Amino acid sequence: MDRAVPARLTSTHWGVFEPVVVDGEVVEVLPFERDPAPSYLGASIRDGMLGDTRVRCPMVSESWLLRSPRRGPGRRGAGRFVQVSWAEALDLVAWELDRVRTCHGNTAIYAGSYGWASAGRFHHAQSQLRRFMNLLGGATTARGAYSFAAAQAVLPHVIGSTDGCVDGHSDWDTIIENTDMVLAFGGLPAKNAQVGSGGFGEHHTPGHLRRVAARGIRVVNVSPLRDDCPEELNAQWVPVVPGSDLALVLALCHTLVVEGLYDRDFTATRCVGFDEFRAYLVGAVDGVSKDARWAGAHTGVGAEDIVALARSLAGGRSMVMMAWALQRGENGESMCWAVVALACLIGQIGLPGGGFGIGYSAVNGPGNGRRRVRWPSLPQGLNPVTESIPVARIADALLDPGGRYEYGGRKHTYPDIRLVYWAGGNPFHHHQDLGRLAEAFQRPETVVVHDLHWTATAKHADIVLPVASALERNDLGASGRDNYLIAMAQALPALASSRTDFDIFTELAGRLGFGDAFTEGRDEKAWLRHLYGRFQESVDFPTPSFSEFWRRGWLSVPDEPADTVLFGQFISDPGGAPLNTPSGRIELFSQTVAGFGYPEIPGRAHWREPTEWLNGPGATTYPLHLISNQPATRLHSQLDAGSVSAAAKIRNREPIRLNPGDASARGISPGDVVLVRNERGSCFAGAVLDDAVRQGVVHLATGAWFDPVDPATAGSPCAHGNPNVLTLDKGTTRLGQAPIAMSCLVEVERFDAEPPAVRAWLPPPPADRGVRLADAIAARLNEGPSRPLTSSTTD
Ligand SMILES: Nc1nc2c(c(=O)[nH]1)N[C@H]1C(S)=C(S)[C@@H](COP(=O)(O)OP(=O)(O)OC[C@H]3O[C@@H](n4cnc5c(=O)[nH]c(N)nc54)[C@H](O)[C@@H]3O)O[C@H]1N2
Ligand SMILES: Nc1nc2c(c(=O)[nH]1)N[C@H]1C(S)=C(S)[C@@H](COP(=O)(O)OP(=O)(O)OC[C@H]3O[C@@H](n4cnc5c(=O)[nH]c(N)nc54)[C@H](O)[C@@H]3O)O[C@H]1N2
Ligand SMILES: [Mo]
């Protein structure tokens, strides 16, 4: 029987917590009593979510008001901000939206707004934004996720869905019971499983990993970082050259084929395209045999070791795993395809403990064997604008309106975006080549950002609307990968004059004439009751009344983990339960993809040298491969100023880990400030020496807030250590146009002079309202849209 717990819980992407509030302040954050392995990130909520980095009132950039040219201090990201009233801010935003849609059409509004925002499902920023924009007449949006856009593009052609990557993983219990060997590309990084979108009641992954260790399952960690597998797994470390894993997988396949160790029945009856794939492996297509010696030269892994690895894969029950990160590099689609192909040759897909899985420890949840529940979510309506761009092509789109590009087998044209509207994401965290993004952000006529904090994205906006944090509003927390619904009861009043995204859009919708359609007559609490009611109608188990649920703080779905074996049904009955591919089988060769005519992915997994990797020509100038993975100390850029992340900084800068050999060759000692650079940009960081990092590799996690030393000058170095000033902004292939943050070379040098001050967490400089700006605000407002707007009464 569930015990009663204190009513005030909050759900975060890193788990459920109970904030203890005394005199209007959070004095402590307690873990949820049902969570067997709470995340240490809870400690960062106080400073990271509620601290001094917050935006306190609506702010408008001076240069936008004065229409300064976008150079020098007029550049977005470099300017001063003036405080305005809510009425002024909302009028300005409503008028801009109306002006742009009237003059340029709704496609000129970009509401892609990618990002994780916060865990509550009603105050889910992108859902609120999209609901609002759809009622406005639509907007250009984004497709795919930074997390796994390449997999989303390729897997449907290979297995008919994204099962085994996004969802539907074989469960850990079955693996722990049956698997002899786990081959893990990118390891099983325990730090990542602290996190899950929407939040969740229980962290399961640590327990699973402990049981993998206890059963003594052989784990092979193919990664540039030894600690991508927790120590307890006692994994064999294969310190591969980053970006070369595809060659390794092809050589494993090659060995299985030439040694006759592959499963002939599986490839003949559950797959199509084996002959084409084999021809490629043995060199019949391009004259290059993808054998172990060939792969040895690319990967830095001994040819004998590759052959031995292939034999052991075929010699027992084997599970091939891959971190999502491996498709966040150039040719990411081929890496996914090759991993599936390897599992097909082993022939154990659909058998307990065998097959493949992508992203097992990427987030909390994959493989926990729980049934998926349709939790409540805000209805978004339909977008009348059919235009969308691949999520990671945002800078291209802004820089090249009308430009032609190919994506997913079709030709497309970038829309002419005049207004960028971002709510719930931080592109100056997540996008690659931030110097280029900063240029792209100079292009639109207007940029509107809703955020809690003065992020670099907020600093690059014209109008910044301050949002109340998850602790300052009521919400429902839930994740499709978990069994809990959390009553997120407001713990604090909204900070200063911040408001929820919902309140902001309600006001804007009112001004634009569709207030009732947006709210449907409901306020926050009424929406929560309504969404809860819809959830109750959709499930087949008893649920408490809303009041009872709210009083208690949570409910959990009565469910026991069930055995799930990915594609179990298809494997046992390929004719009766076919996959959603043209052939109904796993496609090792796809006519459809071949028909797109992309030489970089010609209908099957295909090796091509990445633009940047240690064995390429670029390594002469930039001889270190940068791994910019997910941070252990925060969620992306969120909680950067929190205690956990702040404590790890070195002289206020993000730590960069180097192999001791590489460090000593450069005269770098622990604690030194270093400059990390390549042709795209540079950043400062604080040196940490660690032999868990492969030679030739440096590790600088994402998420340190972008902090250009001189924001008025293009390409100014980042004082704080954001790796995305260095990463390459290029699509994986034309199939997925996915981000390739992991394919990046750099050089690192000791910085002996006084390094620049870090100002990442400070607000931008304020502008005095004065007569000139007051006039400018009035002029903006008087210009008027195509038709009069109702003037506002609220402030
Ligand atoms: N180099 C490199 N870059 C990467 C990656 C990598 O591996 N390497 N990984 C990529 C991946 S997988 C991802 S998912 C992205 C993540 O990129 P993002 O999801 O953009 O990163 P977050 O820091 O989570 O940004 C969320 C923002 O929303 C704000 N926010 C929180 N709650 C609310 C709210 O209620 N309303 C509003 N309006 N705002 C809110 C937060 O303050 C924060 O600024 O990064 C990508 N970038
Ligand atoms: N603590 C924390 N957890 C998170 C997040 C966070 O911000 N903080 N973000 C969440 C999100 S949005 C996502 S999408 C997931 C992402 O989950 P993952 O994609 O698994 O995350 P990463 O940490 O970027 O990458 C895992 C490991 O892959 C390895 N790797 C990188 N390139 C290569 C390569 O070329 N070859 C090999 N063999 N290995 C390579 C890196 O060493 C890295 O540590 O994480 C989620 N979990
Ligand atoms: Mo992600």
| Residues 437 and 581 both lie in one domain | no
Same domain for 189 and 89, yes or no, is: no
Q: How far is CA 278 from the centre of its chain?
A: 35
Centroid of ligand 1 to alpha carbon of 43 (angstroms): 19
- Residue 723 CB less than 6 A away from ligand 2: no
CA distance 627 to 391: 21
Write phi, then psi, for 110 (nearest 5 degrees). -100, 115
CA–centroid distance, residue 108 to ligand 3 (Å)? 27
Strands 59-61 and 81-83: antiparallel
Give, rounded to a whole angstrom, the gap between the first and last alpha carbons of the chain.
48
Task: Say if residue 315 is in the same domain as residue 181.
Answer: yes
Q: What is the 3-state secondary structure (H, E, C) of 639-706?
A: CCCCHHHHHHCECCECEEEECHHHHHHCCCCCCCEEEEECCCCEEEEEEEECCCECCCEEECCCCCCC
Inside any domain, residue 390 = yes
In a shared domain, residues 331 and 385: no
Q: Is the dihedral of CA 398, 399, 405, 408 positive or negative?
A: negative
3-state secondary structure at position 320? strand
Q: Tell me if residue 116 is catalytic.
A: yes
Positions in the chain whose pLDDT score sits under 50? 1-5, 786-795
CATH for 683: 2.40.40.20
Same structural domain, 394 and 499: yes
CATH assignment at residue 394: 3.40.50.740
The answer to whether position 728 is within a domain reads: yes
- Backbone angles phi and psi of 482, in degrees to 5: -145, 165
Checking DSSP bridges between strand 655-658 and strand 624-627, what pairing results, if any?
Answer: unpaired
Element containing residue 357 per DSSP (H, E): strand 355-358
Structural domain count of the chain: 4
**Which long-range CB contacts under 8 A does 304-312 form with residues at least 24 apart?**
305/238, 306/248, 306/251, 306/252, 306/255, 307/255, 307/259, 309/183, 309/220, 309/238, 309/252, 310/251, 310/252, 310/255, 310/256, 310/259, 310/261, 311/255, 311/259, 311/261, 312/181, 312/218
pTM listed for this prediction: 0.97
Predicted pLDDT at 91: 96
Whether residue 225 has its Cβ less than 6 Å from ligand 2:
yes
Mutate to test the pocket of ligand 1, among 378, 452, 727, 742 (most ligand atoms within 8 A of CB): 452
Same domain, 292 and 321: yes
Q: What is the CATH number of the domain that holds 201?
A: 3.40.228.10
Same domain, 355 and 219: yes
Give the Cα separation of 150 and 330 in Å (integer): 9
- Residue 765: how many CB atoms within 10 A of its CB? 11
Does some domain include residue 230? yes
In this structure, are 717 and 736 located in the same domain? Answer: yes
What is the C-alpha separation between 479 and 197, in angstroms, rounded?
A: 6
Q: Assess whether 175 and 263 both reside in one domain.
A: yes
Is residue 480 a part of any domain in this protein? Answer: no
CB 83 within 8 A of CB 57: yes
Measured from the Cα of 116, ligand 1's closest atom is 19
Q: What is the DSSP letter of 393?
A: G
Residue of the CA atom closest to atom 24 of ligand 2 = 629
Residue 755 inside a domain? The answer is no
Give the mutation target among 629, 645, 697 for probing the ligand 2 site: most ligand atoms within 8 A of CB: 629
The tally of CA atoms less than 13 A away on the side-chain side of residue 133 is 30
120 Cα nearest atom in ligand 1: 35
3-state DSSP assignment of residue 165: coil
Shared domain check, 299 and 159: yes
Give residue 784's pLDDT.
Answer: 55
Told to judge if 527 belongs to the known catalytic residues of this protein, a careful annotator would answer no
Is any ligand 2 atom within 6 A of the Cβ of residue 742? Answer: yes
Q: What angle do CA 18, 641, 726 make, to 5 degrees?
A: 130
Query: What is the C-alpha to C-alpha distance for residues 729 and 741, in angstroms, rounded to an integer?
Result: 8
Residues 525-579 pLDDT 10s: 999 999 999 999 999 899 999 999 999 999 998 877 778 999 999 999 999 999 9
The answer to whether 247 and 290 are in contact (CB under 8 A) is: yes
Name the active-site residue from 114, 146, 280, 554. 114
pLDDT of residue 795: 45
By most ligand atoms within 8 Å of CB, the mutation choice from 55, 121, 124, 430 for ligand 1 is 430
The answer on 341 and 410 residing in a single domain is no
Beta bridge partners of 18: 30
* Residue matched to tokens 């052991």: 312
In a domain, residue 1? The reply is no
Does the CB atom of residue 243 touch ligand 2 within 6 A?
yes
Which ligand 1 atom sits nearest the alpha carbon of residue 422?
38
Cα–Cα distance measured from residue 209 to residue 408, given in angstroms and rounded to the nearest whole number: 37
In a domain, 601, yes or no: no
Q: Is residue 756 part of a domain?
A: no
Residue with tokens 């298809």: 570
Question: Which tens digit of pLDDT belongs to each residue from 118-159?
Answer: 999 999 999 999 999 999 999 999 999 999 999 999 999 999
Q: Are residues 365 and 225 in the same domain?
A: yes
CA distance 673 to 655: 9
Cβ neighbors of 795 (< 8 A, separation 6 or more) are 85, 86, 87
Please give the C-alpha separations between residue 764 and each of 426, 458, 461, in angstroms, as whole numbers. 16, 9, 11
Query: At residue 158, what are phi and psi to the nearest 5 degrees?
Result: -95, -45
Domain that holds residue 310: 149-371+563-595
